[in-house]
Every structure is written in structure tokens, then in C-alpha cells.
Chains A and B, each alone.
Chain A
Amino acid sequence: MDNKTLSVAIMSGKGGVGKTNLALNLGFCLFKGNHPVVLMDCDLGLANLDVLLGLAPDKNLQDVIDHDVPPEDILVPIEPGGFDFLPAASGVPELFEMDEDMRALLLSKLHPVFADHHYLFMDLGAGINPTVLSFASMSRVRIIVVTPEPTSLTDGYALIKVLATQRGVKDFLVVVNQVESKAEEQQTFSRLNMACEKFLGFGLTLLGSVRMDKALPESVRRQVPLMKRTPDSPAGKDLFALARKLHSLRASLLPQLAGEPVLVNFSSGTPD
């Protein structure tokens, strides 16, 4: 059967820049646009997507690996009708440090779940650990989330550099989060993009930005997706615009996706 699932890795060099919120709200928008979406908490070992959703799943990815639990049994519906969530474990270093064989085993077991959805959003942990690098290099699309802070910019650049140098990955979409203005979005993206062009030899693509908005921390406190609670807020409008771009991207990639696996194995030399 032809693949229709677009895998999207959402990542950052620095923690706390809004990856999980971005994954959750983009997923919600696309689900509302009649696309089944699965969110996978890939911050293995230190998961928190469930916390944002106010969920406490009994089973998680650890059970799929250790106890052969079918992935359908750990799938948690966020919204009925195709907005689902694959929870990871918290406080399990073994999951965080899993080797390539275990990752391959896990992903092969999860494949039927992926194939049932139009989008797979992988919420990766911050940093450059091997699990982050593997998931990022296997996904079809990579979104780097940065904020205007220099620390976020430097760590985001470091992540891009490691992925480019070690894994040969050179296509990245950038979302600038927590911006005060359009000018700040442009300045932040431009700085990162020019650094990549100058030192790494390739440029980045700006997907867009999300404005600083008090509605977002309020949504987090209430454990309800912003796009469900206040879709007309400034951040909500920005997130909607980002979702539309992703929707267009998937539509343009569909012919290519048909001949590819959901997750491309870069390490084995499979072409992108």
C-alpha cells in the first residue's frame, strides 16, 4: 500500500522553546482539517506530552518494547476520530539510551499505527543525543524550533551542524517561537540561516513564527491545546498559518511519499 504519512520531527537544541506545544497544536489544527494525526512523544525517558494533555496513560512505548504490548493498546485518543498520541515513559534512562537495533524494533512495531494517519509528529527531546539524531534523520521533514534568545540560536545551530556533519541531513524548516514582532522573526531566522550558509554551505527554510502570547501558558496550565481553547488568539492564528503550510507541503510531497517508507533510514544509506 502506498505511503500517505508525512513524518515530521520537531526538535530544538535548547529545551523549553515550545516544541511540545507546537507539535500538539499543529497536530490539532491538521486533525480539524480532516487529517488523522498521531503524536509520538520521542522525548524517550523524559516524556511530557501527556502532561500537556492532562493524561496519565497506563502503558507507553516501554511496554511495546519490553512486554510486546501491541502499539494499538498504548495509543491514546486525544480527540475521537483520529487525533492520537503515543506516550513515552518518564524516568527510564534505558529508553533514552536505546541502541539502533532497539529503535528499529520499536519503529517496525509502530509502523501500522503510523500508516493509519496522515501525519506523524515526533516530539523530540532537546539536545544532540543519539536518539534525537536518529529520529531526526529518519523523518521526512524536520522542524527546528528556536527562540530569539542567543542560547536557543546557538544550540539550534549546533543541532543542525551535528545532523549535517554526522548524518548528512541538510534540509530543515525553522519555526521561530516566542517572537515579539515580525521583525524579530526575520532577524532571528536570518541570523541562523546566514550562519548555516556561511559555515555549513546550505540554507534553511523559514516555516514561520509564533508570537509571544499569554494564552499559551494559560492553555498549558489548563492542559488543553491552545488551538482548542483560544484558536483566535495571536499565537493561535500563527499556529494555524503554520499548519496550512504543512498541509500544502504534504500535498506537494504526496507523490514522493507514496514510494517511501514513513521513516527513511538514513544510516543504512536509503535515499531521501
Chain B
Amino acid sequence: MTDGTFGNIDALAGELRALGRLIGEAAAPAAGAACVGASGVLALTRLVRGMGPDDWFEMASRNGLSQWLALPVAEQDFPLLSHLLATLDDLAFRTEHDALTGLANANFFTRRLEKELDRVNRDGAVLSMALLSIDDLDGLTGRFGPAWAERVFMELARTMGRVKRPYDLAARLGENLFGLILPGARPHNVCAMLERLQAGLAASFACSGGDGSGNGGSGNGDATAGVSFCAGHTTCVGRISGRACDFHELATAALTQARRKGAGCIQATKLPDESFSPQATMVHSDEKKFLFSGI
């Protein structure tokens, strides 16, 4: 960190341009006031006395220095710093969440799934994952428009938030693909939750004018639209060698099967547990007979 006094604006601009060239700005244009090295990110700070935010914005605009980050530190309540922190918080949230629904996004979902699978391998725990998508979205969007689809997605997200347990993770993984990570849940738990989710979604649309049987109101006068979803889910118990992508593939296959079966269907699969096979340890009837009779 260096200290200087704001006096010659052209000298300061020249210094920053020269520094920009030296630190290879061209190689890392998005880094702003940072030097991106092989192993990290470095923020360079220079204190300039007597310069306010307006002076900086004018100078930066005139000299093509908008990639440099200016931070006023002399003000009592640091309004720009608060704004910066809020922006950073917002950016951090956006990197992990879907902008429309506020649910976790695919990256965050995958990272959590990896962690949960590690836990399964470590503790021999149970883990389920569910994928779901709104049935016949294209047809419904064609009839009622994209705004209707967004409304359904947001309602689905709200319903997922209501029916999931606090430690489950709900995510939007694609345009019309939603996911749930359900630690400790076995297939029958997941089925029960997904059925509650379907009922909750149908009820939401019924309240707004639908017929309540999965044919929720569209909100477009007397037109109605089927608001239901198909879901596929997979469960693993104990130690497995598969990673998140394998788990995801199984759930995707289950979702595909559910879609083939028809609207509103739920299909389950199970990842083989390599550490424990009930058949392997079970005492079978021929073994019992032998123990009793010796034959």
C-alpha cells in the first residue's frame, strides 16, 4: 500500500496506466484492480488524499481506467463501502442461486451432492436425490405464454420450500428441471414428499381458479392448464464408489422413465450399495435347516 496526495491528475492516471501494463492487465482484463497470478488474486491499494468519488469517476472515465476499483475510506459511514459489500453479497448469492426462483443453482447443487455422497461413504448413511420437471411445459407455454411458465416455476419453488425439510436442498438445475437433495431419506420418504409437493402445487393453482386435480387455473380467465410434474429419484445406502454425476444420471434415468409412464408419475431407482448386501449376510433357509438337522 502506498500513500500519495491528489495533486496532478494526469500523473496519477499515467501511473495507473503504467501499472496496468506492468501487471499484465491485458491478460486479465476482468480482474480490475487485481493482479492474477498463477496461484491467487492480489488486490493493490493506493491511498490518494484529497480525492473524492466524483473526482475519481471523472478521471477514470476520461483516462479509460474504469476497470480500477475506487473505494472512498474517509467518509464517516462509508456509503460506497456498504454498497460494495451489498453488491458482493448479491453477487455471491447469484453465483449459487437461480435468479428467478431463488433456489440453489446447478453448481451449488452439485457441490452439495458431492459433500453428501462423501458423508454417505464416511458414515454409511442414506441419501436420496430427486429430479422433477413440469409436464408438457412447451404446450402450456404455447397456450399461455412465457409469463405463465415463470409463475409455475416460482410456485413450484415456493412449494418445494414448504414441503422439504430444513436440511434438504432444493435447486433449479435447468429451464424446466428441479432437484432435491434429501439426506437420510429412503425411497418411501422421497415418494411421500414428492406426493405432498404435487398436492401442494395443485392446491396452489386450485386456489387461483383451477380445478384442484392437478389441472390448476392458468390465471387467464376461464382457461385451465395441467400443472403437474414428473419426478425421478434415486437413493443410496452405505458405501458406494459412484460420484455425483453417476447419482445424477440414475435420477435422470428415473425421471425419463417417469415421463414415459405419464403425467404426474414418480419413479425410483437405487444405487447399489457396495459395502452391504443383505443377501450376502443373510442366513438363508438351507443354512438354518443344516444347523438344525445337519443335512
Contacts and interface: CB of A to CB of B under 8 A. Distances in A.
Contacts, number: 36
A195 B291 contact: yes
Contacts of A166: 275-276, 280-281
Given A99-B123, A191-B294, A194-B294, A157 B287 contact: yes
A265 B275 CA distance: 17
A153 B291 contact: yes
A214 to B, nearest CB: 29
Contact of B290 (A99, A158, A165, A194): A194
Interface string A153-197: 110011001100110000000000000000000000011101100
Interface string A81-107: 000000000000000000100000000
A154 B280 CA distance: 16
Contacts of A191: 290-291, 294
Contact of A165 (B280, B287, B288, B292): B280
Nearest to A150: B292
B283 interface: yes
A191 B276 CA distance: 27
Secondary structure of the B contact surface, majority rule? helix
Contacts of B291: 150, 153-154, 157, 191-192, 195
Contacts of B283: 154, 157-158, 161
A198 B287 CA distance: 9
Interface string B256-289: 0000000000000000000110001101001110
B123 A198 contact: no
B287 A162 contact: no
Nearest to A156: B291
Given A153-B291, A157-B287, 12 more contacts: A150-B291, A158-B283, A161-B283, A161-B287, A165-B280, A166-B275, A166-B276, A166-B280, A190-B294, A191-B291, A198-B290, A199-B287
Contacts of B290: 191, 194-195, 198-199
Contacts of A190: 294
A254 B288 CA distance: 38
